[in-house]
Amino acid sequence: MRDISKYYGNVQALDGVSLEVHAGEITCVLGDNGAGKSTLIKIVAGLHQHDGGTFTIEGEETRLGSPREALDRGIATVYQDLAVVPLMPVWRNFFLGSEIHKGRGPLRRLDVAAMRATTHRELLRMGIELHDVDQPIGTLSGGQRQCVAIARAVHFGAKVLILDEPTAALGVKQSGVVLKYVAAARDAGLGVVLITHNPHHAYLVGDRFVLLKRGAMAGSHAKDEIALEELTRQMAGGSELEQLSHELARTPAPDLSGGVAKG
């Protein structure tokens, strides 16, 4: 993506944003709420179209018309809410919308055995060991559900995997589990876009970092060009944070004695 802009009426949500995604690399997009991360995701995922700039996939300039078109081009998006059906078993959610059938005509039916076996195999391939793929996916932890969604995208041939704040609602241990599978997707040859507001998580797995602020680029760095401390400083606002610290610094208490001598 080069110099992407997006307007909603008179409001400019993105202004000159550029993003590169390469196979076998993780690109982290960082920014606070309102920075433009969600708008950027929606353009890459085919939900919205950009108003300015160029969007190129494998050398071909394109304009995605729908999420299905994005999927057909190998771009899979895992949103924060995951869009799973909690009461359905893990294997059913794994194949939701892409079910395997057997038989023809009136005898056509779901091939449950094949979907169960494939789900178990693909989860194991990503290092996810579930004792029972028949258990409702709602009984899994948040980290496990994220990992199932990642394995699903890999299985269905994604070339680019976009993850929207996958660790936002997770504790330290579960966040570590998810980041491990994010790295596994990268090692499987996918180009990964990790959307996050946590620079520590980004720096653990990221190869390059794009910082957004109020819809504009606030920085773009390869990992060997920036230390975690500087990434955190830029993410937190840098000079704005320093100004705030000065404003909040304690000042000497005023002398309220009025100079009255004690006797």
Rounded to the nearest 5°, which phi and psi values hold at 41?
-60, -45
User: What is the domain-level CATH number for residue 193?
Assistant: 3.40.50.300
In a domain? residue 262: no
Q: How many CB atoms within 10 Å of residue 125?
A: 13
Distance between CA 74 and CA 189 in Å, rounded? 12
Q: For residue 45, what are its two tokens?
A: 């995922």
Least confident stretch, 52-61, 67-76, 124-133, 236-245: 236-245
Identify whether the C-beta of residue 43 lies closer than 8 Å to the C-beta of residue 50: yes
Please list the residues that pair with 46 across neighbouring strands: none
In a domain? residue 251: no
- Residue recorded with tokens 């300015």: 52
In a domain? residue 169: yes
The stretch 207-232 carries a mean pLDDT of: 91
In a domain? residue 215: yes
In a domain? residue 248: no
Please list the residues that pair with 105 across neighbouring strands: none
Q: Is the pLDDT of residue 173 over 90?
A: no
State the DSSP code for 257.
S
In a domain? residue 258: no
Please report the pLDDT score of residue 262 as a whole number.
Answer: 55
Identify whether the C-beta of residue 17 lies closer than 8 Å to the C-beta of residue 215: yes
- Report yes or no on whether pTM surpasses 0.75: yes
Please report the pLDDT score of residue 166 as a whole number.
Answer: 87
Annotate 162-202 with three-state secondary structure.
EEECCCCCCCHHHHHHHHHHHHHHHHCCCEEEEEECCHHHH
In a domain? residue 261: no
The number of distinct structural domains making up the chain is 1
Q: Is the pLDDT of residue 258 over 70?
A: no
Distance between CA 190 and CA 164 in Å, rounded? 16
Distance between CA 258 and CA 213 in Å, rounded? 49
Which tens digit of pLDDT belongs to each residue from 26-80? 999 998 888 889 899 899 999 999 999 999 999 999 999 898 899 899 999 988 7
In a domain? residue 252: no
Gyration radius from the chain CA atoms:
23
Distance between CA 175 and CA 48 in Å, rounded? 29
Identify whether the C-beta of residue 29 lies closer than 8 Å to the C-beta of residue 40: yes
Distance between CA 44 and CA 263 in Å, rounded? 77
* 38, 82, 203, 235 from 32: Cα distances, Å: 11, 21, 16, 8
Identify whether the C-beta of residue 201 lies closer than 8 Å to the C-beta of residue 187: no
| Torsion of the alpha carbons at 144, 74, 81 and 5, rounded to the nearest 10 | 140
What residues make up the domain containing 55?
A: 2-241
Q: Side chain identity at 163, as an amino acid letter?
A: L
Q: Is the pLDDT of residue 240 over 60?
A: no
Question: C-alpha angle with apex 118: 114 to 119, nearest 5 degrees?
Answer: 120
